[in-house]
Each structure stands twice: as structure tokens, then as C-alpha cells.
Amino acid sequence: METNRTLMQTLSYGEERIRYQVCHVPDREGKVAIHVHPDGSVQVDAPMDAELAEIKAAVQKRARWVMGHIHKARELREHVLPREYVSGESHYYQGRRFQLKLVRNQDAKGSVKLHRGKLVVEADDVSSTRVRELLRGWYRDRARDYFARRLHASVSNISWLAEVPQWRLLTMKKQWGSCSPKGILLLNPHLVKAPRECIEYVLLHELCHMQEHNHSQRFYRLLTEQMPEWKSVKAKLDGMSELLLNE
């Protein structure tokens, strides 16, 4: 079975060069789809039979739009890095960006909730240190709940899983997850900030390691059976990693 392929390509636009990653995606039909990720990287999803010249022409046609979004991504990164934990700052949850709103309340011990497109932190102390602590706890709670539900659902969909594997949360600076030789999963709570399809990709990736403890062709064949479009999803996650892992 032919799997999805990725290629790096470039084209000129004025005095600038656009570097883009081509993902040939199984079962994709029609036109190519162009994505500019929060880190400014460009991903192009295309049908398996699309020629590189055809794809390049499509990107060239929308080059102005692409460069505009690249510039916006660069400006956004300058705005949110490093994090200061102040009102108006952008934070992510399941792929959506929420504006942070701090509410000082002398009677509040500290709470975090999503309300009308904002991530609201209410506490008697809204210093950066305290807000960071409250957000980390909130993300861990959300991650623990969501990952548990998705792992439970995977048992009925994956033939080699008889029960939910042992797993725990572990904050990591560069990894989204890992699987020990004993089949224990370690999952980064920051992953809950990513879009749901990206979370699903990481979970499937680690679950496939329970069958193949390596990155062999058999491992990638297994992963492709579970998620044919995984390379496109991985590219999307890679494009958001710097923002999602940043605290």
C-alpha cells in the first residue's frame, strides 16, 4: 500500500523565498490545500498523483497570501515569546487560541476556566508566577481527562490493545510522548494545547510502539493503517510546537 510522502520545496516571491513542505496525502481529492503554521512554516497537502510542478504553480498563485500569513506568524511569535502571563496574551487549548484574562479577587483561591473565547484566571494573586502555576495545573487536569478518554476509546479500535495501557503525564521540553519497553506511555501535558487530530496522532504513534518498539518500516506501516494522513498531521503539529511547548 502506498503511503503519504513529504518533500521540501522552494519558490521565489520577489526578493524572498518561500520554503514549503509537500505532503502527498492518501484519499485526498481535488485541489491542494496550503497551510501556514504559527511558526511560519508552510505545508501543502496534495493528492497522491499531483505533480510537483502542479503543486508549485498552486503555491505561486497564492504566494502573496502565503507571504502575508508568514509575516503575521512572525509578528505573533514576537508577541507571545517569551510568555509573561499578563492579560491579553495568547494561549492555546485543543488547537484554539484563547486570550488570557486575569481577574484579581481577594476571596478567590485560584481558578481557571474558558469563558466566551477567553482563558480566565481568577485569584487573589495574579502575579506571573502564580498565574503560570494555575495554568500548568489546569492544563494537566484537562490533559489527564482528555487523554484518558481517547485511550479508552482506542481499545475498541486497535486490535492489539486488550485494555488501556498504563500511562502518566510527564512535562517534556522537546517530546510529546514516549513508550517504555514495558509498554508504559509517557504523555506531555502540553499536548492538550494541540488540535485534536494532532493529539490523536501522538497517541497512535505511541500505541504503535507497543507493537513495534522502533521506527522501522513495519512501525510506519502500522501507523499508516491507523492514520493514513499522519504525515500531514505531524507537519501541522511540528509547525505549532514552538508555541505549544513554550511556557
For 144-199, the pLDDT digits (tens) are 999 999 999 998 889 888 899 999 999 998 899 999 988 899 999 999 999 999 99
104 and 217 housed in the same domain: yes
Q: Which residue has the cell 481499545?
A: 155
Identify the pLDDT of residue 79. 55
52 and 109 housed in the same domain: no
Find out whether 19 and 10 touch, Cβ atoms under 8 Å. yes
Band the pLDDT of 78: cuts 50, 70, 90: low
Tell me the C-alpha distance between 224 and 155, whole Å: 18
What letter does residue 164 receive in the DSSP assignment? P
Q: Is the pLDDT of residue 15 over 70?
A: yes
> Hey, what's the cell of 76?
505573533
Strand partners, 104: 123
Identify the pLDDT of residue 77. 67
Task: Look at 56-65, 75-84, 120-129, 225-234 and tell me which has the smallest mean pLDDT.
Answer: 75-84
In a domain, 83, yes or no: no
Give the residue from 161, 241, 176, 169 showing the smallest Cα distance to 208.
161
Q: Which amino acid is at 23?
A: C
Sign of torsion over alpha carbons 153, 155, 159, 160:
positive
Of 76, 101, 133, the last residue of a domain is 76
Question: 114-118 long-range CB contacts below 8 Å, 24 or more apart?
Answer: none
In a domain, 82, yes or no: no
pTM for the full model? Answer: 0.79
Q: DSSP secondary structure string, 4-69?
A: -EEEEEEEEETTEEEEEEEEEETT--SS-EEEE-TTS-EEEEEETT--HHHHHHHHHHTHHHHHHH
Identify the pLDDT of residue 169. 98
97 and 133 housed in the same domain: yes
Q: Which residue has the cell 510506519?
A: 220
Q: What is the total count of domains within the chain?
A: 2
Helix (H, G, I), strand (E, B) or coil at 87: coil
Q: Is the pLDDT of residue 2 over 50?
A: no
Identify the pLDDT of residue 3. 43
Band the pLDDT of 14: cuts 50, 70, 90: confident
Q: DSSP secondary structure string, 173-216?
A: SS-SEEE-TT--EEE-GGGGGS-HHHHHHHHHHHHHTTT-SS-S
In a domain, 175, yes or no: yes
72 and 97 housed in the same domain: no
Tell me the C-alpha distance between 51 and 232, whole Å: 17
Full domain range(s) for residue 71: 6-76
